[in-house]
Chain A
Amino acid sequence: MRLLLARVLGIIALIALAACAAFAPPQPWEKGDLAKREMQFDPDPLDAKSTTHIYTSKEGAGGGYGVGGGGCGCN
Chain B
Amino acid sequence: MKTLRSSLFALVCAAFVSANAAALDVGEPAPSFALPTTAGDTVRLEQLRGKAVYVDFWASWCGPCRRSFPWMNEMQRRYGSQGLAIVAVNVDKKRDDAARFLGEVPAEFTVVYDPPGATPAAYAVKAMPSSFLIDARGTVVAIERGFREESGAALEQRIRALVSPR
By a beta-carbon cutoff of 8 Å, the part of chain A in contact with chain B is 14-15, 17-18, 21-24, 27-32, 35-36
Contacts and interface: CB of A to CB of B under 8 A. Distances in A.
B15 A18 contact: yes
A35 B117 contact: no
Contact of A21 (B16, B59, B127): B16
A32 B61 contact: yes
A28 B121 CA distance: 10
A36 B17 CA distance: 30
A28 B95 CA distance: 18
A22 B126 CA distance: 20
Nearest to B20: A24
Contacts of A18: 12, 15-16
Interface in B56-77: 57, 59-62
A27 B93 CA distance: 13
A29 B15 contact: no
5 interchain residue pairs of minimum CB distance: A18-B15, A35-B61, A29-B91, A29-B120, A21-B18
8 contacts: A18-B12, A18-B16, A28-B126, A30-B91, A31-B61, A32-B60, A32-B93, A35-B61
A22 B91 contact: no
Given A29-B125, A35-B62, A36-B61, A22 B18 contact: yes
A43 to B, nearest CB: 15
A60 B62 CA distance: 37
Contacts of A29: 57, 59, 91, 117, 120-121, 125, 128
Given A18-B12, A35-B61, A28 B120 contact: yes
Interface string B2-24: 00000000001001111000000
Contacts of B12: 14, 18
B135 interface: no
A30 B117 contact: yes
Given A27-B120, A32-B93, A21 B15 contact: yes
Point out which of A15, A17, A29 has the most chain B C-beta atoms below 10 A from its C-beta. Answer: A29
A21 B57 CA distance: 28
B118 to A, nearest CB: 10
B63 to A, nearest CB: 9
